[in-house]
Chains A and B, each alone.
Chain A
Amino acid sequence: MRLLLSFSAGGLFGLGLFLSGMTDTQKVQGWLDIFGAWDPTLAFVMGGAILPMALAWQLTRGRAPLVGGHFPTPPRQELDRRLIIGSVLFGIGWGLVGLCPGPAIASLSYGGTGGIIFIAAMLVGMIAAPPVALRLDRAAAST
């Protein structure tokens, strides 16, 4: 049941990325290109995705997940340097080629060698991240 739900969620996510144009790097870069030919499509993708999710968060109240267990704890609100530095680095990479992790995975089968190279580099970055994050935490603790 847990695996079937995971697969269904992933399938809906992949289908949504495919149909919305999020796997088209030109569209994503068009959204970020505020000084060029700005393309607002991504705002509609974000808006369309946030609505059902907001409803889902409402439905979690007083309930438990279908497979049992607990819903995620309320969101942390504190802003730390990990969040800020990590988001800046991610944004730079996102702007450079117009791919973020979800669409990169979704276009694995038709993204050609460029897509495979991107994912390989992304995985290396992910493996390298925990020690970097630890250093940022230590630096924050010592100041």
Chain B
Amino acid sequence: MNIDWIWGLIGGALIGTGGAVYLLGNGRIMGASGILGGLIDGSGRNSAAERLAFIAGVVLIPLVMWLTIAEVPDTHLTSNTAVIVAAGLLVGLGTRIANGCTSGHGVCGISRLSLRGLIATVIYILAGALTLALFRHVWSLI
């Protein structure tokens, strides 16, 4: 039996709890692209320490899990470097232009009934599904 959805639900609940801690504790919206982007384009200079502490948590906890559970989680990342670079550029550019990604618009936006969050989420899921359909099933490139 496929129990992936249970882990999805548990993992999702932890993601949402992280967002709740960030909101109720620090009064901030947990958006991965915003937290990282504000650090590198200088717009988040005043809250740099807070942003760095968040990112440290995001990196360190999975690292500890990976080292202790002793089962290497496979990311299944494509080995095609050109595709990885193009995708990375688009993700970085797009999330900053739209001012949010899956965590900011998807999790934190939809949960506060933000129309922008909902529309952004629908658009990036549709764009992703269309991209995958074209590149995988029509052109067989990925």
A-B pairs with beta carbons under 8 Å apart, 24 shown? A13-B57, A18-B66, A19-B14, A24-B74, A29-B132, A32-B129, A33-B132, A33-B136, A51-B13, A53-B107, A65-B26, A88-B124, A91-B130, A94-B124, A94-B131, A100-B91, A105-B32, A105-B55, A110-B75, A112-B77, A123-B40, A124-B89, A126-B96, A130-B43
Of the candidates B9, B55, B114, B123, which one forms a contact with A48 in the assembled complex, judged by CB atoms under 8 Å apart?
B9
Asked whether, in the complex, the Cβ of B126 is within 8 Å of the Cβ of A10, the reply is: no
B1 at the interface (CB under 8 A from A): no
Taking A56-B19, A92-B128 as contacts, is the C-beta distance between A107 and B14 under 8 angstroms?
no
Interface residue tally for chain A (C-beta within 8 Å): 116
Of the candidates B51, B56, B62, B99, which one forms a contact with A17 in the assembled complex, judged by CB atoms under 8 Å apart?
B62
Asked whether, in the complex, the Cβ of A125 is within 8 Å of the Cβ of B57, the reply is: no
Question: Helix, strand, loop or mixed for chain B's interface?
Answer: helix
In the complex, number of A-B residue pairs with CB atoms less than 8 Å apart: 488
Asked whether, in the complex, the Cβ of A24 is within 8 Å of the Cβ of B12, the reply is: no
Asked whether, in the complex, the Cβ of B11 is within 8 Å of the Cβ of A97, the reply is: no
Of the candidates B73, B93, B114, B131, which one forms a contact with A18 in the assembled complex, judged by CB atoms under 8 Å apart?
B73
Asked whether, in the complex, the Cβ of B72 is within 8 Å of the Cβ of A110, the reply is: yes
Asked whether, in the complex, the Cβ of A13 is within 8 Å of the Cβ of B10, the reply is: no
Please give the residue numbers on chain B whose beta carbons come within 8 Å of chain A beta carbons, in ascending order: 4-30, 32-33, 36-37, 40-41, 43, 49-51, 53-63, 65-66, 72-79, 81, 83-99, 101-103, 105-117, 119-121, 123-133, 135-137, 142
**Contact flags A107-122 to B (C-beta < 8 A → 1, else 0):** 1111110110111111
**Which residues of A sit under 8 angstroms from B102, Cβ to Cβ?**
94, 100-102
- A122 to B86, alpha carbons, bound, how many Å? 9
The 6 closest A-B pairs by CB, nearest first: A20-B11, A125-B92, A48-B12, A10-B57, A91-B127, A121-B88
Min Cβ gap B116→A in Å is: 6
Of the candidates B21, B41, B89, B120, which one forms a contact with A122 in the assembled complex, judged by CB atoms under 8 Å apart?
B89
**Which residues of A sit under 8 angstroms from B77, Cβ to Cβ?**
25, 97-99, 111-112, 114-115, 118
Asked whether, in the complex, the Cβ of B63 is within 8 Å of the Cβ of A109, the reply is: yes
Asked whether, in the complex, the Cβ of B91 is within 8 Å of the Cβ of A83, the reply is: no
**Which residues of B sit under 8 angstroms from A34, Cβ to Cβ?**
129, 133
A67 at the interface (CB under 8 A from B): yes
A59 at the interface (CB under 8 A from B): yes
Of the candidates B26, B59, B123, B135, which one forms a contact with A87 in the assembled complex, judged by CB atoms under 8 Å apart?
B123
